[in-house]
A and B are shown apart, each in its own frame.
Chain A
């Protein structure tokens, strides 16, 4: 098997659109910008000190319509903070974020969030009711929302499990419920914060494969946070590597132009892994 030199074009931020287009994987259906992070800075306000720690500084990123984007970086670099801003749970101290040109100010149903922890599920509701929650909030009738929720439970491989409560389900099943709960709402973009970080390795690789299938079926834009290089190589169209904090930003973006389905053992996979690992190590080496 030969390794093509086109794998992994490393593009620093601020490159011309031509370079971006050249590196665009052929699976990404569009170059239209969905989510635009414009020169964003974030400083946490703590109660005691007025000046909290600087988490993000001058972070810019353009997420394209329909792409699978992985945000990767050393732990504590502010990946989750970035997602928190995208979701609208926090407002940036500097700069702004827009989704389809509209400034993000607060959490809304057009940005679905899948959390790492299962504590985001509602334990007093069955899986079906958890999935139907967003539809209920939007005032959809009972019969209609249950029919839709059933359909999305099936999409994530939980057919017939709708009457179970979260405490009766495994970690992997709970993450499937979270994904279905977000997808049923038909958001413009999916924000996933290390969603498979807490499940066992075998379940994890199954969930990764299924997520790619779901992404291909639904055509959703996905921003996926991870600290696992393999995961990003397996899933992403493009990988954004964040610089070391404090005051981190997107240091470089790597296009992963590998055909799908991807195989974790293929030589191309290893090359890609090495390349991204070098980028992260060069980040960690910096003062």
Chain B
């Protein structure tokens, strides 16, 4: 670091350029520096202490990844997993948001549905896999339904909490300003709950990734979960690592999008996430 500093001092006549650069870039530098450091340690440990079939180094994983990119194999598996996640996630949210808003707004509707949300949220989606495959076949429908299931409870419960968090004065103010119950629902309950809904969706997205992998391991011939499970049979540890990296990267990208949405819609609340 000292060396770098001295060199830049010579070329730019003074440290101000570097100082300004560090001021603007120190967060990304730490972020990517951390990734780089982890890769270096991984490479060192893997090449010096382990058999590649047991713990492949990043360079081996990268080589395998490149082969899988060229053959197109990785895209096939990623695309099908992502499609299942997205379909299930959006259908699940589309069911859960109105359900959560209604359950949060009316204690009668809440009393009618609460036994099911309370009961089934402790039953993981993967427990349903066999009955669902029996009922709906081994095709896409079963996998998507499993994701719908896992999404519904998380999003619905967050939505209910969001409705419960609305200050009573907001409803009172709206009523005194002439809002009918329907308008109150549309113009107070819905916008006030939106940040909670987005947070719930963000959490559910994480769960959808976990669930799709489990489902694909048990009942699929495509997808990242299948790739991981199938590679196990051939001791293709490098392929498992490629799948793991894919899952992480896709998940991070999805989470980024959600954080942006939450910031966009929740910034007026003073708390970004």
Contacts and interface: CB of A to CB of B under 8 A. Distances in A.
B135 interface: no
A120 B187 contact: no
A124 B173 CA distance: 15
Contact of B268 (A107, A123, A137): A123
A138 B176 CA distance: 12
> Which of B173, B180, B187, B270 lies at the interface centre, i.e. has the most chain A CB atoms within 10 A of its CB?
B173
Interface string B105-124: 00000000000000000000
B155 interface: no
A167 B270 contact: yes
A113 B172 contact: yes
Contacts of A133: 174, 177, 187
Interface string A115-133: 1010111111100000001
A138 B192 CA distance: 21
Contacts of A119: 167, 169-170
Contacts of A107: 172, 175-176
Contacts of B133: none
A120 B191 contact: no
A185 to B, nearest CB: 6
A41 interface: no
Interface in B160-214: 167, 169-170, 172-180, 183, 187-188, 191-192, 194
A89 interface: yes
Contact of A166 (B173, B188, B192, B268): B268
B32 interface: no
Question: Helix, strand, loop or mixed for chain B's interface?
Answer: helix
The 4 closest A-B pairs by CB, nearest first: A109-B178, A134-B177, A119-B167, A107-B175
B269 interface: yes
B172 A89 contact: yes
Contacts of A137: 174, 177-180, 183, 187
A167 B268 contact: yes
A87 B176 contact: yes
26 contacts: A89-B172, A106-B175, A108-B178, A109-B176, A112-B176, A115-B169, A120-B170, A121-B173, A122-B170, A123-B268, A124-B192, A124-B269, A125-B191, A133-B174, A133-B177, A133-B187, A134-B178, A136-B187, A137-B187, A138-B178, A166-B268, A167-B268, A167-B269, A182-B176, A182-B177, A185-B178
A123 B176 contact: no
Interface in B14-58: none
A188 interface: no
Interface of B: 167, 169-170, 172-180, 183, 187-188, 191-192, 194, 265, 268-270
A124 B187 CA distance: 10
A177 to B, nearest CB: 11
A181 interface: yes
A111 interface: yes
Contacts of B179: 137
B176 A108 contact: yes
Given A109-B177, A124-B192, A138-B178, 15 more contacts: A87-B176, A107-B176, A108-B178, A115-B169, A119-B169, A120-B169, A120-B170, A120-B173, A123-B269, A124-B265, A136-B187, A167-B268, A181-B177, A185-B177, A185-B178
A134 B173 CA distance: 10
Nearest to A193: B169
A117 B178 contact: no
Contacts of A181: 173, 177
Contacts of A182: 176-177
Contacts of A7: none
A89 B173 CA distance: 10
A138 B183 CA distance: 10
Contacts of A115: 169, 172-173
A198 B187 CA distance: 27
Contacts of A136: 187
Contacts of A123: 268-270
